[in-house]
Amino acid sequence: MPRGNRVSGTYKPDIRAGRLPAEEYAEHFADHVPPLTAGQAVLEASRCLYCFDAPCTQACPTRIDVPSFIRRIAEDNVRGAAATILESNPLGGFCARDCPTEVLCEQVCVRTAQQGRPVAIGRLQRFAVDALLASPHTQLFTRAPASGRQVAVVGAGPAGLACAHALARAGHEVALFDAKPKPGGLNEYGVATYKTAGGYAQREVEWLLGIGGITLRCGWVLADAEQLAALRRQYAAVFLGLGLADTHRLGVAGETLAGVHDAVEFISMLRQAPDPACVPVGRRVLVIGGGMTAVDAAVQAKLLGAQRVDIVYRRGPQQMPASQHEQDLARMRGVRILHWLAPMEVLGEDGSVRAVRFARQRLAAGRLEATGEEETLEADMVLKAIGQRLGNPLLSECGFALRDGRIAVDQAGRTSIAGVWAGGDCIAEGQDLTVDAVAQGLRAARDIDHQLRSGRAPRNE
Ligand SMILES: Cc1cc2nc3c(=O)[nH]c(=O)nc-3n(C[C@H](O)[C@H](O)[C@H](O)COP(=O)(O)OP(=O)(O)OC[C@H]3O[C@@H](n4cnc5c(N)ncnc54)[C@H](O)[C@@H]3O)c2cc1C
Ligand code: SF4
């Protein structure tokens, strides 16, 4: 079991930008999975057995017809392959980059049992969509005749974008609002830099808006019940794809010391930086948490030149929410993962973090309990990655029924308020993945379209 050093009293906090030579940044933050060439794609596609009742399709939350699109790649019909993908998932290009395929489609691929490795579904999907976006005619779909109905979509993350695109295709006019200066939600502000190199999030948004019929307004915040009431009066339907705007706190002394940051904010700063070389990072970084955000923050801190990065998780390896693949990636990049340590206090000097004191944990009758042992790990920077939450007082103010602290919806994505649908991370459903948010945005769009066409939704003022 790795042990941390006691605080010696001689170590000076060291947080700074530009730790690496300029050329190393470009290398570190390039695509971590290189795209397939046309030849590699055709060869990989030829490994697919085009299974009947394909398990890979069943494992995809958006039910992409995987064997069909792979067959089209094998037949050199790349545009057709992209059409098959985007028909089911209009954010198929982004999902090809950030989906944990190792626990979704590729986990169940029958080639794994036969040849020890699955067909590279994610990389093939990316190949097809990238080829479409690089072609002169990128739009594949035409809009249905105008319905004369208008829908408001609040939140331009994966859930809102998918919903808006499907509604526009169905002939409705969509007003898409977002609080942030740029659309994309966590695709733009959260997902790791090396999964979405080259400004892909905005390229995809551009393609999505290219369908027409969607008016995007950024810097617009849904902040009170009166605004929601106004949207309900003005639009035939309202979709909320608000994500999770708030994060959990450690709830220990010293949490407000300089050098203690939210991991999502740290990643967002990196994603928005014109150059990773200008993002400050500590020499010794502790990331507290055990999920995908913890892994992404830790790996990126290492890529920025931090000398030592530890992920510290209060439970054991079996309980870590980050997949084995993500954990392996972190270790490969030189990140240590320490288990069974719960933070007790952030220790500081002159207002800055110097170390974190942890209590060792164990499982007793299925519950965590402190063993009585303590460990102190030095740090100049602490990144908190212990989960996000809705944290939006507007929702209780408006009277939404909530479940597990998120918006409760029925099987069609309808909330407890008439004329208001919701999807993505803000609802109590799914695994909080991009692809889940897309699936839930599309589900709501189908139901809204059905309601508008059947005349059950009220006409707007
Ligand atoms: C650091 C990090 C890394 C991740 N990495 C991956 C990954 O590799 N793979 C994966 O599948 N998933 C990953 N996820 C999860 C994935 O990003 C989310 O599940 C997905 O983005 C949820 O989409 P969404 O549309 O529900 O919410 P979001 O993407 O959060 O978008 C919500 C949008 O709503 C806007 N908004 C919020 N409140 C308001 C308001 N009151 N008024 C107006 N606009 C508002 C926000 O500005 C935002 O643009 C990651 C998450 C994090 C935090
Ligand atoms: S399970 Fe594998 S082999 Fe079968 S259709 Fe899907 S990708 Fe092809």
Q: Are residues 255 and 339 in the same domain?
A: yes
The tokens of 104 are what? 């979704």
Answer yes or no: is 421 within a domain: yes
Last residue of a domain, one of 102, 133, 164: 133
Q: What is the CATH number of the domain that holds 118?
A: 1.10.1060.10
12-32 pLDDT, tens digit per residue, is 789 999 999 999 999 999 888
27, with CB counted inside 10 A (0-12, 13-18, 19+), is: exposed
Please give the pLDDT value at position 461.
41
Please give the pLDDT value at position 11.
60
Q: What is the CATH number of the domain that holds 341?
A: 3.50.50.60
Rounded to the nearest angstrom, the distance between the alpha carbon of 101 and the centre of ligand 2 is 13
Determine if ligand 2 sits within 6 Å of the CB of residue 45: no
Which helix (DSSP H) or strand (DSSP E) does residue 344 occupy?
Answer: strand 341-349
Instruction: Output the ligand 1 site: residues, CB below 6 A.
Output: 98-99, 154-160, 177-180, 185-186, 190-191, 195, 221-222, 241-243, 245, 264, 267, 292-293, 296, 424-426, 432-435, 437
Give the number of the ligand closest to the Cα of residue 390. Answer: 1
Please give the pLDDT value at position 393.
80
292-318 pLDDT, tens digit per residue, is 999 999 999 999 999 999 999 999 998
212-234 pLDDT, tens digit per residue, is 999 999 999 999 999 999 999 99
Please give the pLDDT value at position 1.
33
Please give the pLDDT value at position 181.
97
Q: Are residues 373 and 254 in the same domain?
A: yes
Rounded to the nearest angstrom, the distance between the alpha carbon of 118 and the centre of ligand 2 is 8
In contact, 239 and 441? CB cutoff 8 Å:
yes
Residue recorded with tokens 């057709």: 80
Q: Are residues 255 and 368 in the same domain?
A: yes
Helices (H), 89-224: 92-98, 111-115, 121-133, 158-169, 186-189, 200-209
User: Average of pLDDT values for 121-141?
Assistant: 97
Answer yes or no: is 197 within a domain: yes
Answer yes or no: is 5 within a domain: no
Please give the pLDDT value at position 430.
83
Q: Whose CA is nearest to atom 8 of ligand 2?
A: 48
Determine if ligand 2 sits within 6 Å of the CB of residue 41: no
**Cα(127)–Cα(41) distance, integer angstroms:** 7
Answer yes or no: is 4 within a domain: no
How many structural domains is the chain composed of? 3
**Cα(284)–Cα(423) distance, integer angstroms:** 38
Give the number of the ligand closest to the Cα of residue 70. Answer: 2
Res 5 pLDDT > 50: no
Q: Comparing 8-22, 45-59, 319-333, which segment has the lowest mean pLDDT?
A: 8-22
On average, the pLDDT of the chain sits at 93
Res 148 pLDDT > 90: yes
Determine if ligand 2 sits within 6 Å of the CB of residue 51: yes
The domain of 239 spans: 150-245+390-454
377-433 pLDDT, tens digit per residue, is 999 999 999 988 887 788 888 899 999 989 999 999 999 999 999 999 999 888 899
